[in-house]
A = this chain, B = another copy of it.
Amino acid sequence: MLTAGSDRTYAIGLDFGTASARAVALDTETGDELATTVSPYAGGRGGVISDDADPNLARQEPQDYADALELTLGGVVAQLAEQGALEHGRIVGIGVATTGSTPLPLDDSARPLALDERFRPDPAAKAWLWKDHTAHAEAAEITSLLEERELPYLAYVGGTYSSEWFWAKILRCARTSPAVFAAAASWCELSDFVPALATGAGLDMSRNACAAGHKAMFSRLWNGLPAASFLAELEPGLAALRERLYEDVRPAGDRAGSLRPDLAERVGLGGEDVAIAVGTFDAHAGAVAGGVRPGRLVKIVGTSTCDCTVTGEPEPRPIPGVCGVVQDSVLPGLVGVEAGQSAVGDLFDWFVRTLAPEGLAGPEAHERLSAAAAGLEPGASGLVALDWNNGNRTVLVDPLLSGLVVGQTLATTAAEIYRALIEATAFGARVIVEQVERYGLPIEDVVVSGGIAQSPLAMQIYADVLGRTVRLARSANASAAGAAIFGAVAGGAHPDAEHAQAAMGGVGEIAYQPRSDAVRIYERLYGVYRKLHDAFGRVDGPLSSVMKELIEIRAGALA
């Protein structure tokens, strides 16, 4: 199927992020990125609709997705045309990666309810963005009912249902916006909505294995979605909705359909048959672009991280505290394993925004602090920090944890604290690696992508702390590149994702090797980190009440 010579084929990858959508066009043989275009969402602030009265609320305007789809596709097609690339080749497929869990309610023609005049101003009818936390009480209710009923639905997704996830958000809608809930013929994830929009599918749209398995408790082990009886106990309407959802899921890279003719026409692909791939989550697509395979962990490190690996073991088995162990969720045919850190770039940004002193602050604060921190020897600050300013996603799965810095003297400097925060995120990364290994999946090397991958200081610290080579992913736009890989598979340019990945993704030339002196010192510091981690973070730790109590006191003081 692989085309060569002057008869080239291209695949487009779409990445629907939090503030904007991006499209890239990759040569399916060489993986060269030929075109890229970004389209910010028009709605809300930075694309996100918020509510001053409720900091937990984060929604998006579904129309923005439709607009961005057309604009970004049109943009890369135009760029390819301009380069003359379309004279010697053609676009065979389009893959889609999006944020998630980002569910939205649909009417019976699969149109977002938000476009219905009756619900236009109602935030409940819009897309419930991944970082919307309005459903925290509903999430806790789901977890506790599952425990009470001794149901296994969370065994493979970390043991705790999150306020960010599909069912919690829909339950919240049913409770607080019953009119929207009643009007919804169905709900879908953004990662299914965009392919449906591109193909013109109705409510029979393809549902992707990644979102279903990670966020909606879908598994073949219990015949799909959670039992109607369980859902009915939460809210009778949910059991009825279950019947209108889906019974099967498909892996990314499967062909969902063809680009619908009217849209093809408008983006400059009139008359072409372009395959649309089943969607996936952005971080999972990024992992595929980063060359994820058994024995390799790919970390997308931005404001937070998403860490993925895969295993060919026939039966997925649960890894305590790891967000997801889901069949087909990363690479078709393999079990995807997903973990994550709640704050990495966000933690460094917080420090810069809040505590960077004069002379080190300003637009180049990260560069200045990094330069100063790079001059320090490992261990020389006498500091260690916990990277929990935004809670802990893996392996403690506890949003009610908080940050800690210990070891300060009257001579401690800002650069030392900045470095300690970087080290803390590296220690957090190591906890994940060790947990995955403890449950039988050895990690030989680590590939990093995302904004923080561009920091040589952070990457060297990661290599030293992890005691492993840390390589940078080839693509700077890994999620979009991963989507393009799936687009190439759907379009027939490669027989499967592994072949497409080998040709179009993988690692670049930059690699950081662990330095033995630093490894030795970080080994000791990691021991201190683990001691603090377990004392403050484990349920049975001697200081496990401290962070909870501080949050309680804060809540009382602010009430």
Report which A residues bind B (CB closer than 8 A). 343, 346-347, 350, 353-358, 361-362, 377-384, 389-390, 402-410, 412-414, 417, 521, 524-525, 527-528, 531-532, 535-536, 542-543, 545-547, 549-551, 553-554, 556-558
Quick check: A550 and B528 within 8 Å, CB to CB? yes
Known: A410-B343, A412-B389, A543-B531. A554 touches B357 (CB 8 A): no
Quick check: B350 and A550 within 8 Å, CB to CB? no
Known: A531-B543, A535-B535, A543-B543. A347 touches B405 (CB 8 A): no
Quick check: B412 and A354 within 8 Å, CB to CB? yes
**How far does the alpha carbon of A531 sit from the alpha carbon of B547 in the complex, in Å?**
12
A558 partner, pick from B350, B377, B553, B557, beta carbons under 8 A: B377
The minimal Cβ–Cβ distance linking A336 to chain B, given in whole angstroms, is 28
* Known interface pairs A353-B357, A532-B543; 20 further A-B residue pairs with C-beta atoms within 8 A, sorted by A's residue number: A343-B410, A350-B410, A350-B412, A354-B413, A355-B357, A355-B414, A357-B361, A379-B557, A380-B554, A380-B557, A389-B408, A389-B409, A389-B412, A390-B410, A404-B406, A404-B407, A407-B554, A524-B553, A525-B550, A532-B546
9 CB contacts below 8 A, A to B, read A354-B413, A355-B414, A379-B556, A379-B557, A403-B412, A528-B553, A535-B542, A542-B543, A543-B543
Residues of B within 8 A of A521 (CB): 553, 556-557
Residues of B within 8 A of A558 (CB): 377, 380
Known: A543-B535, A549-B524. A410 touches B389 (CB 8 A): yes
The minimal Cβ–Cβ distance linking A369 to chain B, given in whole angstroms, is 12
Quick check: B554 and A379 within 8 Å, CB to CB? yes
Residues of B within 8 A of A554 (CB): 379-382, 407
The minimal Cβ–Cβ distance linking A400 to chain B, given in whole angstroms, is 11
Quick check: A407 and B403 within 8 Å, CB to CB? yes
**How far does the alpha carbon of A409 sit from the alpha carbon of B410 in the complex, in Å?**
23
**How far does the alpha carbon of A557 sit from the alpha carbon of B423 in the complex, in Å?**
15
Q: Which residue of B lies closest to A552 (CB)?
A: B524
Quick check: B556 and A346 within 8 Å, CB to CB? no
- Number of identical protomers: 2
A404 partner, pick from B347, B354, B358, B404, beta carbons under 8 A: B404
A405 partner, pick from B346, B358, B404, B413, beta carbons under 8 A: B404
Residues of B within 8 A of A380 (CB): 554, 557-558
Quick check: B535 and A549 within 8 Å, CB to CB? no
The minimal Cβ–Cβ distance linking A84 to chain B, given in whole angstroms, is 47
**How far does the alpha carbon of A553 sit from the alpha carbon of B382 in the complex, in Å?**
7
The minimal Cβ–Cβ distance linking A252 to chain B, given in whole angstroms, is 31
Residues of B within 8 A of A353 (CB): 357
Quick check: A358 and B358 within 8 Å, CB to CB? yes
Residues of B within 8 A of A381 (CB): 554
A402 partner, pick from B356, B361, B407, B543, beta carbons under 8 A: B407
**How far does the alpha carbon of A535 sit from the alpha carbon of B407 in the complex, in Å?**
14
> Which of A409, A524, A556 has the largest count of B CB atoms less than 10 A from its CB?
A409
Residues of B within 8 A of A524 (CB): 549, 553
The minimal Cβ–Cβ distance linking A545 to chain B, given in whole angstroms, is 8
Residues of B within 8 A of A390 (CB): 409-410
Quick check: B403 and A547 within 8 Å, CB to CB? no
5 closest Cβ pairs, A-B complex: A403-B408, A382-B554, A379-B557, A380-B557, A542-B542
A546 partner, pick from B355, B377, B378, B528, beta carbons under 8 A: B528
Known: A358-B361, A379-B556. A528 touches B549 (CB 8 A): yes
A550 partner, pick from B356, B382, B410, B549, beta carbons under 8 A: B382
The minimal Cβ–Cβ distance linking A392 to chain B, given in whole angstroms, is 13
**How far does the alpha carbon of A355 sit from the alpha carbon of B354 in the complex, in Å?**
8
The minimal Cβ–Cβ distance linking A317 to chain B, given in whole angstroms, is 33
Q: Which residue of B lies closest to A416 (CB)?
A: B354
Q: Which residue of B lies closest to A55 (CB)?
A: B411
